[in-house]
Amino acid sequence: MAVRIDRDKCMYCGACTSVCPFLALELRETYVHVHEDKCKECGICVKACPVGAISLPRGDTQ
Amino acid sequence: MKYDREWDVIVVGAGPAGIKAGEELAKRGLKTLVIDRKQEIGAPKRCGEGLSMRWIKISGLEPEPIWARQYINGAILISPKGKKIVIDTDKLGKGSGYIIERKMFEKFLAANAIRAGAKFMLKANVYDLVMEDDYVKGVRVNYMGDDLELRAKIVVAADGVDSRIGRMAGLNTTLPLTEMDSGFQYEMAGVELLDPNKMELYFGNEVAPRGYVWVFPKGKDVANVGIGINGANEKTARYYLDKWIEENWDRFKNASVIEINAGGIPVTKPVDEFVGNGIMLTGDAARMVNPIHGGGMGTALEAAGMLADVAKEAIASGDVSKEKLKKFQDMWMEKHGEEFAKILKVRHFFERLNDEQLEAIADMALKGGLTPDVLVDLGHGKGLVEVAKALLKASPAAAKLVWEFIKG
């Protein structure tokens, strides 16, 4: 499992990729790619996102 | 387009830091390639687009009409209760500048770099580094669908706040959440501006927790309307900006959005290590960002000359080891290390102020207890003692905070 990114909301700005401790998020030209094998679902990116586009699979933010 | 596979230097990231580095490297006779993941230089911007004359001059530039959109001769600071402190930087003789058109600025810089001999490759995503004997020896990129291996004596990571390149090389560039501001911005037309030549900055813990709302004019009724808040905040930057615009609807009732921007802003000290074997970090990737306002273009542009001097010397000597390249970090820290540490202290001080204390500072400024000169100098890490003294006088309750600051 890994974080989910709502592509309709995502601005592909890189705030989430900057704070991810596990290199699990990668900014591509028009989206953020989630490396699901690396994501630990820590939720740091959820808070960092300026537009609330990221959620944890269980639906909470901690 | 055909591209050579062997280069002296490959710069990853064509923002101000990378483009200017490309120009300076090429000027020193190094065969330089600047690559970027995006298909267009300069867009989408993640920036409020303010650039002071000081940095324009340091970068060896003159304000050109093609990118210097609006002359800025000061700022209006607005307290939580709406008190306005007007700073006229023309009168002060420092702090004036421009709101630029970032996209045109970067294309302008890139044209200069190309004239100096640098080459550019766009829509090229670096997915891996070429590593040999613990040295970075190049990059593996996907260029418009094709995987290529490009080799270089030095790789420069100018890939912004979300730098992956440094981390791929084993440098710790992960930004702690509490040291990043989450930014969101609308570029709008039809805005009623307080003064089309002044930046507006709004403070308050309800307005922008640990940050501020900005209105940066790009014309008589066009502006970047943005916000930066503590990255660890429970609510989003967008939430706070939308709320603020609604609360100030009179000024925006005839306005609409022509661009939406977002981004993370590093508001902390520079990274511990700017360099590794065969790799150098610059610009936002090295967090060369003024931590009081999050501006990073000026320092990024300035760093290019230092970076190119060190790279040239290292390549000429055949030694591109971390020890050799560290001179770049030493030069930069010599120039800005102390200043930026002081600026960070100013930031940490202001972050701890509640609205009542911010209001007290505004009152002091309006009564002449704090001069515009001191307020401008805060951005350079100076004058904090004066602010602390003024605050102490105005709000005895803040004595503890002031004491902690002086102690720290």
CATH code (residue A51): 3.30.70.20
| Listed residues B243, B266, B289: the one ending a domain | B266
Q: Phi first, then psi: give them for residue B326, nearest 5 degrees.
A: -60, -20
**A27 found inside a domain:** yes
Domains: count for chain B: 3
Residue B239 in contact with partner chain A when CB distance is under 8 A: yes
Q: Which pLDDT tens digit goes with each residue over B232-272?
A: 899 999 999 999 999 999 999 999 999 999 999 999 999 99
- Are B263 and A27 an interchain contact pair (Cβ–Cβ within 8 Å)? no
Give mean pLDDT, residues B57-80: 96
Asked whether residue B400 carries a pLDDT value surpassing 60, the answer given is yes
Burial of B247 (0-12, 13-18, 19+ CB in 10 A): exposed
- The confidence score (pLDDT) of residue A29 equals 82
Asked whether residue A52 carries a pLDDT value surpassing 50, the answer given is yes
Asked whether residue A61 carries a pLDDT value surpassing 70, the answer given is no
| Listed residues B238, B266, B294: the one ending a domain | B266
CATH number assigned to the domain comprising residue B185: 3.30.9.10
Q: Is there a single domain that holds both residue B258 and residue B192?
A: yes
Identify the residue whose tokens are 């002359």. B71
Confidence category of residue B161, pLDDT binned at 50, 70, 90: confident
Please calculate the CA angle B62-B291-B170 and round it to the nearest 5 degrees.
100
Give mean pLDDT, residues B336-351: 90
A14 closest CB neighbour out of B177, B234, B264: B264
CB < 8 Å to B161, chain A: 14-15, 18
Residue A57 in contact with partner chain B when CB distance is under 8 A: no
d(CA B299, CA B284): 9
For chain B, percent of residues with pLDDT exceeding 90: 80
Measuring CA to CA, how many Å separate B128 from each of B163, B165, B201, B236, B301? 13, 8, 41, 32, 26
Radius of gyration of chain A (CA): 10
Confidence category of residue B349, pLDDT binned at 50, 70, 90: confident
**A60 found inside a domain:** no
- Are B266 and A17 an interchain contact pair (Cβ–Cβ within 8 Å)? no
Q: Is there a single domain that holds both residue B170 and residue B317?
A: yes
Task: Name the residue with higher pLDDT: B397 or B108.
Answer: B108
**B199 found inside a domain:** yes
Q: Is there a single domain that holds both residue B162 and residue B41?
A: yes
Q: Is there a single domain that holds both residue B223 and residue B187?
A: yes
**A61 found inside a domain:** no
Q: Is there a single domain that holds both residue B399 and residue B357?
A: yes
Identify which of B249-253, B358-362, B392-396, B404-408 has the greatest average pLDDT.
Answer: B249-253
Give mean pLDDT, residues A22-34: 92
**B55 found inside a domain:** no
Size of chain B in residues = 408
8 A C-beta contact, residue B357 and residue B404: no
- The confidence score (pLDDT) of residue A62 equals 46
CB < 8 Å to B236, chain A: 49-52
8 A C-beta contact, residue B358 and residue B370: no
Measuring CA to CA, how many Å separate B222 from each of B109, B150, B255? 24, 43, 9
**A20 found inside a domain:** yes
Confidence category of residue A1, pLDDT binned at 50, 70, 90: confident
- The confidence score (pLDDT) of residue B283 equals 97
Which residues lie closer than 8 Å to A40 by C-beta, 6 or more apart? A22, A24
Q: Which pLDDT tens digit goes with each residue over B75-116?
A: 999 999 999 999 999 999 888 999 999 999 999 999 999 999
Q: Is there a single domain that holds both residue B210 and residue B80?
A: yes
B174 closest CB neighbour out of A15, A21, A47: A21
Q: What is the mean pLDDT of chain B?
A: 94
A19 closest CB neighbour out of B39, B175, B236: B175
Q: Is there a single domain that holds both residue B156 and residue B115?
A: yes
Domains: count for chain A: 1
Residue A1 in contact with partner chain B when CB distance is under 8 A: no
From B182's Cα to the closest Cα of chain A, the distance in A is 5
| Listed residues B247, B266, B285: the one ending a domain | B266
Residue B145 in contact with partner chain A when CB distance is under 8 A: no
Q: Is there a single domain that holds both residue B219 and residue B239?
A: yes
Asked whether residue B307 carries a pLDDT value surpassing 80, the answer given is yes
- Are B39 and A29 an interchain contact pair (Cβ–Cβ within 8 Å)? yes
Residue B180 in contact with partner chain A when CB distance is under 8 A: yes
**B295 found inside a domain:** yes
CB < 8 Å to B209, chain A: none
- The confidence score (pLDDT) of residue A59 equals 61
Asked whether residue A60 carries a pLDDT value surpassing 60, the answer given is no
Range of A18's domain? 4-55
Q: Is there a single domain that holds both residue B328 and residue B280?
A: yes
CB < 8 Å to B263, chain A: 11, 13-15, 50
Residue A52 in contact with partner chain B when CB distance is under 8 A: yes
Please calculate the CA angle A45-A51-A52 and round it to the nearest 5 degrees.
55
Which residues lie closer than 8 Å to B381 by C-beta, 6 or more apart? B292, B339, B340, B341, B342, B343, B344, B345, B346
Asked whether residue B66 carries a pLDDT value surpassing 60, the answer given is yes
Name the β-bridge partners of B182: B229, B264
- Are A26 and B164 an interchain contact pair (Cβ–Cβ within 8 Å)? yes
Residue A33 in contact with partner chain B when CB distance is under 8 A: no
Which of B146-155, B271-280, B392-401 shows the lowest mean pLDDT across its residues?
Answer: B392-401
Q: How many CB pairs under 8 A join A and B?
A: 93
* Omega of the bond leading into B44 within 30 degrees of 0 (cis): yes
Give mean pLDDT, residues B30-59: 94
**A62 found inside a domain:** no
Residue A51 in contact with partner chain B when CB distance is under 8 A: yes
Residue B37 in contact with partner chain A when CB distance is under 8 A: yes
B262 closest CB neighbour out of A15, A47, A61: A15
- Are A50 and B184 an interchain contact pair (Cβ–Cβ within 8 Å)? yes
Confidence category of residue B406, pLDDT binned at 50, 70, 90: low
Range of B212's domain? 71-96+177-266
Q: Is there a single domain that holds both residue B190 and residue B258?
A: yes
- Are B263 and A19 an interchain contact pair (Cβ–Cβ within 8 Å)? no
d(CA B307, CA B332): 9
**A37 found inside a domain:** yes
Asked whether residue B342 carries a pLDDT value surpassing 60, the answer given is yes
- Are A23 and B160 an interchain contact pair (Cβ–Cβ within 8 Å)? no
From A1's Cα to the closest Cα of chain B, the distance in A is 22
- Are A15 and B162 an interchain contact pair (Cβ–Cβ within 8 Å)? yes
d(CA B60, CA B45): 23
Residue B182 in contact with partner chain A when CB distance is under 8 A: yes
Task: Name the residue with higher pLDDT: B381 or B315.
Answer: B315
Q: Is there a single domain that holds both residue B187 and residue B255?
A: yes
Residue B125 in contact with partner chain A when CB distance is under 8 A: yes
Give mean pLDDT, residues B132-145: 97
- Are A18 and B182 an interchain contact pair (Cβ–Cβ within 8 Å)? no
Q: Is there a single domain that holds both residue B155 and residue B225?
A: no
Q: Phi first, then psi: give them for residue B126, nearest 5 degrees.
A: -75, 120
Asked whether residue A30 carries a pLDDT value surpassing 80, the answer given is yes
**B41 found inside a domain:** yes
**B280 found inside a domain:** yes
